[in-house]
């Protein structure tokens, strides 16, 4: 978030950094100057105009009301308020006008949802999406720093023991994930619900309906954690109300803000997590007519979930404010 504020020259007159007591007293650099981190308390928000929250749902629920009462507008990265009727859920390239209806709190969407909608929404405006089938390939940094280290440690362990490719299973028990993440794909992101979907998988439909103002939107999603450090990838098959050609879809996507079209399979050009990591823009490619759906289009979209899926989107909302 600090890097996004710096890069985008956000007008900050006074920066307040808040964290747990464990981090209080540490210093971070902002625009060449050291800023001391303070302990978060209910009284921390005096004089704050915009508060960017990214400390988990529990902290948001406990402290966002204190910030609002102090006169701040909260931009929250957690899932705490996303589906509250009185809280706008905003992707600035899609529904910037919703910001005007805030009552002190604005929610940042789920990272996979935000990245997917960067490609899906322009197509929806042109052709009217009715439903999608999707599979996500989600980077470990979406889980946090401990997950990054778990993947790195498991990879080092495998390489250090000179294992053969068919003996990649390690003896060390995983801690962050329920199974080994190195050299694996785990179809389990967030907790399972009674219907067999995870909460992460249902966010695409629920949040997508709210962001696109499309209550009839349907999404069947499988979310998978993969051994990638940064940037989420999503394979989407979408069915539209009106006929869609690849050429027409490409023209629509080429004009969409915050989205790059990388789509030349003959030259092996398509979005890759390694290439998109660190970029503000999402990227879409592998455009093709879906052979199993009426008025269907299949495509592949990739985005940095730490940027468009989190920090960058929050700063863009602050810019709207």
Residue 217 CB neighbour total at 10 angstroms = 20
Residue 162 CB neighbour total at 10 angstroms = 7
Residue 180 CB neighbour total at 10 angstroms = 21
Question: Which residue of the set 111, 124, 223, 282 is catalytic?
Answer: 111
In what helix (H) or strand (E) does residue 116 lie, and over which residues does it extend? helix 111-127
Q: Which residues pair with 218 in a beta bridge?
A: 131
Residues 66 and 104 sit within 8 Å (Cβ to Cβ): no
Q: Is 111 a catalytic residue?
A: yes
Distance CA 202, CA 194 (A): 12
Q: Is 102 a catalytic residue?
A: no
Q: Which residues pair with 235 in a beta bridge?
A: 135, 300
Residues 86 and 69 sit within 8 Å (Cβ to Cβ): no
Question: Which residue of the set 4, 102, 232, 282 is catalytic?
Answer: 232
- Cα distances from 233 to residues 43, 113, 289, 304, in angstroms, run 40, 11, 19, 9
3-class secondary structure per residue, 23-36: CCCCEEEECCEEEE
Distance CA 28, CA 35 (A): 5
Q: How far is CA 304 from the centre of its chain?
A: 7
* Maximum separation of any 2 CA atoms in the chain, in Å: 60
Distance CA 250, CA 255 (A): 9
Residues 127 and 96 sit within 8 Å (Cβ to Cβ): no
Q: Which residues pair with 267 in a beta bridge?
A: none
Residues 105 and 45 sit within 8 Å (Cβ to Cβ): no
Point out the residues that are catalytic: 111, 232
């Amino acid at each position: 978030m600090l890097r996004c504020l710096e890069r985008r020259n956000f007008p900050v007159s006074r920066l307040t950094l808040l964290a747990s007591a464990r981090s209080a007293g540490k210093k971070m650099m902002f625009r060449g100057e050291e800023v001391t981190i303070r302990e978060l308390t209910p009284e921390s928000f005096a004089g704050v105009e915009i508060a960017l929250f990214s400390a988990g749902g529990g902290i948001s629920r406990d402290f966002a009301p204190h910030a609002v009462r102090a006169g701040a507008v909260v931009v929250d990265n957690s899932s705490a308020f996303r589906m509250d009727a009185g809280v706008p859920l905003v992707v600035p390239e899609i529904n910037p006008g919703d910001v005007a209806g805030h009552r002190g709190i604005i929610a940042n969407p789920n990272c996979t949802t935000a990245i997917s909608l960067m490609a899906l929404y322009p197509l929806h405006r042109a052709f009217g999406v009715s439903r999608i089938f999707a599979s996500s390939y989600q980077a470990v940094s979406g889980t946090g720093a401990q997950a990054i280290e778990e993947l790195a440690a498991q990879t080092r362990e495998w390489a250090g023991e000179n294992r053969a490719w068919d003996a990649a299973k390690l003896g060390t028990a995983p801690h962050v994930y329920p199974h080994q993440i190195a050299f694996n794909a785990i179809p389990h992101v967030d907790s399972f619900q009674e219907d067999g979907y995870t909460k992460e998988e249902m966010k695409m439909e629920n949040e997508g309906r709210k962001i696109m103002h499309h209550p009839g939107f349907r999404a069947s999603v499988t979310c998978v954690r993969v051994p990638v450090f940064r940037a989420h990838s999503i394979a989407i098959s979408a069915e539209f109300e009106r006929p869609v050609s690849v050429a027409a879809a490409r023209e629509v996507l080429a004009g969409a803000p915050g989205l790059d079209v990388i789509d030349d399979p003959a030259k092996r050009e398509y979005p890759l997590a390694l290439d998109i990591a660190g970029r503000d823009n999402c990227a879409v490619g592998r455009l093709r007519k879906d052979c199993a759906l009426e008025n269907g289009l299949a495509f592949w979209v990739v985005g940095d979930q730490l940027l468009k899926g989190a920090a960058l989107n929050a700063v863009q909302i602050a810019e709207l404010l």
